[in-house]
Structure 1
Amino acid sequence: MHRGKGMKFVGDSRILDPSVRKPMGPKDYSEYPGKTEAFWPNFLLKEWMVGAVFLVGFLCLTAAHPAPLERIADPADAGYIPMPDWYFLFLYQMLKYSYASGPYNIIGLIIPGIAFVGLLLAPFIDRGPQRRPLKRPFATGFMLLSVAAVFYLTWEAAAHHDWKKAAEQGKIVAKVDIDKEDPGYKVFSKQSCIQCHGENLTGGPAAPSLIGTGLSAKEVADIAQHGTKSGKMPANQFKGSPDDLKKLSEFIAGLKK
């Protein structure tokens, strides 16, 4: 038998041929069906240009219509009701329900947290090859349920909010220098008036401003004792001596805008 006669060579595709070198970079975009341009820099440059146009438009909109501002926060105003921005209204509305507030407040925080975490993990959990919504009933169903819940809760929060009252409580009033060493202010700070009208007497959602009322000292004293006809301020709110009442009424009547 001669050398090499009857011998067969079998190739194994798992063994790389050192003589053939393949490029280490990504494949050319032309090898992918439906792709007509390179991601870098062609496609990415277009994305940046579109983003820049929207950014400039947004900056022009904010310059033309600045965000509405409210008065300076008053820690002594216990009647102020804060209102979140529109994109958090659904959470604000959800916390109004008994099962998501009070002792169950943790539930009102966990449910939205799970929803947002699930949204972030969706690409890693649902790794099926199908991309059509009808072929992915669970993912599509949960997404539609989330969108419907956000829209419904946002609508409920906006529809049942007292916007007129909110505008009054946040209204910017003219700054008035108040002499906090005045005997009338000391009487005011000791009474329950400060809880509704605020430390600076600018009022709140439950009480009007006491600055520039146009009332005389006698009218102020009458309201402090007998309340208002509308019933917003009940009678017998003032607890003090006649001398304290005189100091308080003269002080409030003297406040001018």
Structure 2
Amino acid sequence: MTFYRNSFHHFFDDKILQATAYKRTILGFSVPSMFLLKLKFLRVLHVENSTINNFSMAISECIHLRHLILRNCVSVRLPPSIGKLLYLQTIDLRRTILESIVPESLWNIASLKHVYLSGGFYPTRNGKQKELRTFHLETSSFNYFRNKLPGSTLFPQCLRQLYLFANVIKEDPMPIVEKLPCLVVLSLSGYQGRTMSCSAQGFPRLQRLDLSVFYTEEWIIETGALPRLSFGSSLNMRKLPDGLGQLPSLKELVLKDPLISEDDITCKDLRGKGCKLR
């Protein structure tokens, strides 16, 4: 019987490593030091809390790789040759701090669907990805843009889900992300700017908006914005914006701030339209 999957925890022996050459899935957890061989048949590489000593040299040999997951790892540098992974669908580098920015060649992988980064993001207008659905980006990347989001044209226009951990952002991110034409889910965490504004015709397809660790004094929602929004959560505001009561599709709103009064005019308007508040 042939096994195509290996899992390692806390150790990595040279003899075991030699036996992995034909594996299609490798899982590694808390491995203090590991080396990758030429793994041309590998489909899934999932490593956490570990050190891969020769990652930048070995990864370009994994030409059939579909899912690359390196969480909370060290000494990771994405080489330009990562663009050779023509079948790559998922790259997950959450809590992994890269030694350099993400190479432009990553954005030329047409099959890429899900990207999770903790840093190193530098967008490009020349990306070829047409399948990208999920983009998860954490704080440190925004230092490249002087603590603000890059322009909307630098994000993949096919993006459907966007997760931003943005406690260093000083400028309102909404005028940027509201222009993404296919965006369905937006999760924004950490923004503490004074104001936030959604303009008319903004977020034409957005259905879910999650705001966490979120504090702002004023949120302006112009008429015509968020026409398809059906769910909103974690709104830490003392007074709800008037524009929420005008949203035609809003069905449920989760409020975390106990200071919002039951007599809030917008709360009454929403309940009157059948929106569930909790």
Q: TM-score range by the shorter chain?
A: under 0.3
Q: Normalized against structure 1, the TM-score is what? A: 0.21
Q: Which has the higher contact order (CA 8 A, sep 6+)?
A: 1
Higher strand fraction (1 or 2): 2
Q: Which structure has the larger Rg?
A: 1
Q: Normalized against structure 2, the TM-score is what? A: 0.20
Higher helix fraction (1 or 2): 1
